[in-house]
Structure 1
C-alpha cells in the first residue's frame, strides 16, 4: 500500500511538472513585438506576434519613406508635389499607380463623391490649408473646371497628364490606408502571420492575438466627446482592414433652428452643404479602400450611403449621424454589427 501511494505520488508529481513545463512552453511560445512612432503626420502602433524577438523598425521606416516620397503633398520634392507644380516629366512609381487606380475605382463607384482633385475647392471655401477666397456661383463654376479625376490621365510612359495645369492631386484620403497595406505586405514577407497595424486610427488586422487566443480587439472613438477620448464601440477584427472618417467635435449650430451640422464640400456641385453624418467607419479587404469609402460616406447623403452599402456586400460600415430631432443615431450593416463586441 505504501509503495502504491509513493508511486501514485511520484506519478502525480511528474505529471504536475510536465503540465507546468507545457504551460510555460505555451506562454513562451509567442512573443509580442511592438513598434511605436510617428509618421504621415500622426502616430503609429504595430504589434506583431512571433516565436522570436524581432526588430523590423528599419523596414517600417523604409515603407513610410518611400510612400512619402511618392505621395506626400507636404514634401516639396515628392512625386505628387512636383506633378502639382506642373512637372510633366515625373515618372510615377508602382505605388502611385496603384493608389491612382484605387482612387479611380472609388471615384466611379461613388459617382464622383470621392475625388482626390477636390482640394482646390476645399481651400477656396476656407476648410483646407490653402488661401480662402470669396466664393460665388461664378467662382465655383470656374474652380469646378479643375476638379474631376476623369481629367487626370496616366500615360503609357507612367507620367501624369492633367487636362488643366491648375489641377491638384491630393491622396491624403487614401494614402494613409495604402501605407498601412504596404506595412502589412512587409510583415507578410517576413513570415509574420499575426499582427495589428494602426496608423492614425486606421487598422489592418491579420490572424489573431495569439497571446490571448482571440481575434484582435479594436475601438472606435465616440464623436460626441468634445475633450479627450472615449470609445463608442469595440469590435473583433481578423484578416481585414478598418478605417474611419469624421467631423469629430466640429459642429456648426444653425442660429435659426438650433440644429447641429458639419460642413462638407460637394465635389459635384462645388458648393458647401450641411451634412448630418458625424462619422463613418468602413471594414474592407484592404485599408486603402476602407479609407477612401469612409471619406466618401462623409460627403454623400446618408440615405444614399445606406442604399449604396446594400449593393456593396464586400463593404461593412457603421455610420453615426444626427437625426431630424438633433439626436445622435447609429446605423450598422449586418456584417459590421456581427463584429461588435457585446
Structure 2
C-alpha cells in the first residue's frame, strides 16, 4: 500500500468522528443559545443586589443562602455576626471565610501603606457616617480615636490541636468594619457558587461591586457603566462618564461625589483617611478598579479615594494585575480622567 493510499484510508476512517464532533459542537451551541437567563434581585448588606445568569434552573435560594453566610460574618448591623462578636468580646476564632477576608484586608493594608484599614470604624462613625452622629469631633477627639486605629493593634494566634487561628485585640477600643470589602467579597462568593454549577455566563452586582463572566443575553461582553461625578447626594443623576467592557473580571467603584453631607456650611466627604483621622480633601472624585477578585477591586478603590490620584498611580504601577479608571477635577475645576493602558471605553469599540 502506498503512503498516499494509507493517508487516504486514514482520512476516510477519521471522517465519521469529525462529523460527530461538528454535530456535537453545534448541538451544544444551540442548547446554550436556547438556555434562558435568570434574573434575581434582593436586599443584602444594606443595599440591593442583582444577579443575571444563564441557567435552566433558578438559584435564588442558593444565592441568598451564600450571601447570608457573608452577612453572618461581616455585617456590623447584624447583632449575631462574627465581626459584632469580635468588636464586643475582643477575640474571635476565625472561620475559613473570616480568615480569608481578614488576610486579604491585611495584605492590602500593607500594599497601600495603611490607606485601607478595617479598624477605621470609630472615625467613620464620629464623622457622621455609618452610625450617624450629630456631634462633630474636635481635633482632640480625632487624636484620641487615632490611638485606637491601625491593624498593628490586632494579632493572630494559633490555638488548639486543630491549629485554629484566633484574632485578638491588642487594644480593646479597636473596632473592625469590613464595609469597604464585604460587598465585593459577597459578589465573589456568588460567582464561586455559579461556577460550581458550571454556569459560564453571568453578571453579579451588589451595591455597585460587579463580577462578570462570559457574555450577556445579547451575546456580547458585559458592559458596565461608570457614573459621571456630580454634586448629587440623592443619587438622581444617572449620566455615565464611560462604559467599560468587563468580561471574566471584577469591578468596583468608590467615589466621594455622591457620598457626602453638609454641616455648618461645609461639605464632608465620606472617605476618612485612617492616618489623619479626617475626611479626605483632594481632587480625586471617583476610582474604578478592575481586578480578578471583586473584594480586591472593592478595597483598592476605597484605598485610592484615600490616597488621591498620584499615590494611586504608584500603587497601580506596582500592581500591573490591577486596572483603574480615575475621574478627577483639574486645576480649572473641570472633570478629567486617567485610566490604565488597555482600558478603553466600550462605546468607542463599537
When normalised by structure 1's length, the TM-score is 0.84
**Is structure 2 residue 69 aligned with structure 1 residue 63?**
no
Deviation at 1:121, TM superposition (A): 1.4
Aligned Cα root-mean-square deviation (Å) = 2.6
CA distance in 2 between partners of 1:124 and 1:261 (Å): 12
The 1:127–1:95 alpha-carbon spacing in structure 2 relative to 1, beyond 3 Å, is same
Cα contact 2:221–2:245 (8 A) shared by 1: yes
Choose the corresponding residue for 1:219, options 225, 236, 241.
225
CA distance in 2 between partners of 1:261 and 1:72 (Å): 25
**Partner residue of 2:215?**
208
**Partner residue of 1:121?**
123
**Partner residue of 2:182?**
175
The 1:252–1:182 alpha-carbon spacing in structure 2 relative to 1, beyond 3 Å, is closer
**Is structure 2 residue 165 aligned with structure 1 residue 158?**
yes
CA distance in 2 between partners of 1:27 and 1:133 (Å): 57
Note the residue ranges of structure 1 that are not aligned, 5 or more in a row.
1-20
Note the residue ranges of structure 2 that are not aligned, 5 or more in a row.
1-25, 159-163
Deviation at 1:91, TM superposition (A): 2.1
Q: How many residues align?
A: 313
CA distance in 2 between partners of 1:27 and 1:108 (Å): 44
Cα contact 1:263–1:274 (8 A) shared by 2: no
Q: CA offsets per residue over residues 227-275 of structure 1, 9 Å max, x none? A: 331222112111100000111335789x99x9x9846422112233412
| Superposition map of 1:269-288 within 5 A | 269-288=276-295
Q: CA offsets per residue over residues 71-111 of structure 1, 9 Å max, x none? A: 110011111001101253x3221111111011011100000
Deviation at 1:278, TM superposition (A): 1.1
**Is structure 2 residue 44 aligned with structure 1 residue 44?**
no
